[in-house]
Amino acid sequence: MKPSRSRFVEVRRLRYHLREWGREGAPMLVMLHGWMDVSASFQFVVDALRGDWHVLAPDWRGYGVTSWTSEDCYWFPDYLADLDCVLDAVAPGHPVALVGHSMGGNVALLYAGVRTQRVSAVVNLEGFGLRDSTPDEAPARYARWIDELKAGASLRDYGSLSEVADRLRKNNPRLSEERALFLAAHWSQPTDDGRYRIAGDPAHRIVNPVLYRWAEVEACWRNVACPVLWVQAEQTDAAKWAGGQREIDRRAAALRNVATARVADAGHMLHHDQPQQVAALIESFLAGPLA
C-alpha cells in the first residue's frame, strides 16, 4: 500500500486536510471524494496507478479531518469555492487534472465550467447529478429543511472498527474484508467512551433547501473546455438519483469534449470495487489530453 501523508491549509476560515501520495513535482492529480466519504477512499486507485504522480485529495468541509462548519447546514456552492482556494494553495497559476467520484465528480464538472483555465482534464466517476426539479416542489422542500434544522441531525456510532467495516460491507458487498477495515479506520473516529463515530458532520444529512436545477448545471457543463472522461459502473444504481439511464446519457452529451467508459463488475463505489480498472482508465485518458 502506497504511503500517504497529511497536509493542512487554511481555506475560508476552515482547517482543511489534504491527503497526499507520491512525489512533489510529479504531474498532479487532484481527487475529490463523494458525499459521506473521505479522501482515503482513493487509496486503492492510487495503489493501482503505474505512473509517477503527485496525488492530492482533500477531505471536504465537514468530512474526515477537515473542520466542520460553524453553521447548521452545508451549501453545495461552498465546495466550488473551497476547491478554488485549495488549488490556489497547491497549484497556484497551474491547471490541474481533477478526478471526482459521485458528489466530487459533480463538483469537478461544475468547477471546470466556472474556472475553465484552472482545469486541464476531468475524470468523472459516477457524478451524474440529481433528478431535475420543478418549481412547485419548493414549498415542501423549504418546509422540510426548516423541520430538519429544528430537529437536528445525528449519525449512529459503532462499538468497534469491525462493526464499522461490517456497515461498509453491508452497503457494498463487493468490498473485501481487508479493504473494509482499512476504510473503517479513516471513515470513523474513536470517541471518548471507546466507541467509533462516523468522520463526518451529521448536518450533511439535512436536506438541501435549494432545488436541483439541471438547466443551470447544464450551462456550466457546456462551458467546460477541457477533455472529460465520463465513467459509469455496469452495476450502478446512480440512475435512480439522476432520473434514469436515458437522462444520464443525455447529460453526457452536454459536454463538448467527452469520452465515455464502463467499468465491469462494479457498482457506484467503483473505485473500491475495481481500482485497477479505474486507475488504468485514468492513466490512459490523461496520456492523451496531457501528453
Average pLDDT over the chain reads: 96
SS3 16: strand
Kindly report, residue by residue over 55-72, the tens digit of the pLDDT: 999 999 999 999 999 999
152 in a domain, yes or no?
no
Which residue, 204, 199, 203, is CA-closest to 189? 199
236 in a domain, yes or no?
yes
- 227 close to 257: Cβ distance less than 8 angstroms: yes
**Residues 6 or more apart in contact with residue 39 via CB below 8 angstroms:** 17, 18, 19, 31, 33, 57, 58, 59, 64, 186
| Average pLDDT over every residue of 9-20 | 97
Kindly report, residue by residue over 204-236, the tens digit of the pLDDT: 999 999 999 999 999 999 999 999 999 999 999
The domain total for the chain is 1
Q: Which domain holds residue 19?
A: 5-132+213-287
Domain CATH for 86: 3.40.50.1820
122 in a domain, yes or no?
yes
pLDDT band at 288 (very low <50, low <70, confident <90, very high): confident
Kindly report, residue by residue over 99-119, the tens digit of the pLDDT: 999 999 999 999 999 999 999
187 in a domain, yes or no?
no
pLDDT at 289 over 70: no
Window from 197-201, 202-206, 244-248, 287-291 with minimum mean pLDDT: 287-291
Listing DSSP states for 111-133 in one string gives: HHHHSGGGEEEEEEES----PPP
**Residues 6 or more apart in contact with residue 103 via CB below 8 angstroms:** 32, 33, 34, 35, 79, 127
pLDDT recorded at residue 281 = 98
Kindly report, residue by residue over 150-201, the tens digit of the pLDDT: 999 999 999 999 999 999 999 999 999 999 999 999 999 999 899 999 999 9
| Average pLDDT over every residue of 87-100 | 96
Residue 262, all three cell numbers: 464502463
249 in a domain, yes or no?
yes
| Average pLDDT over every residue of 8-27 | 97
194 in a domain, yes or no?
no
Cα–Cα dist 212/233, whole Å? 23
Which residue, 60, 62, 65, is CA-closest to 5? 65
277 in a domain, yes or no?
yes
185 in a domain, yes or no?
no
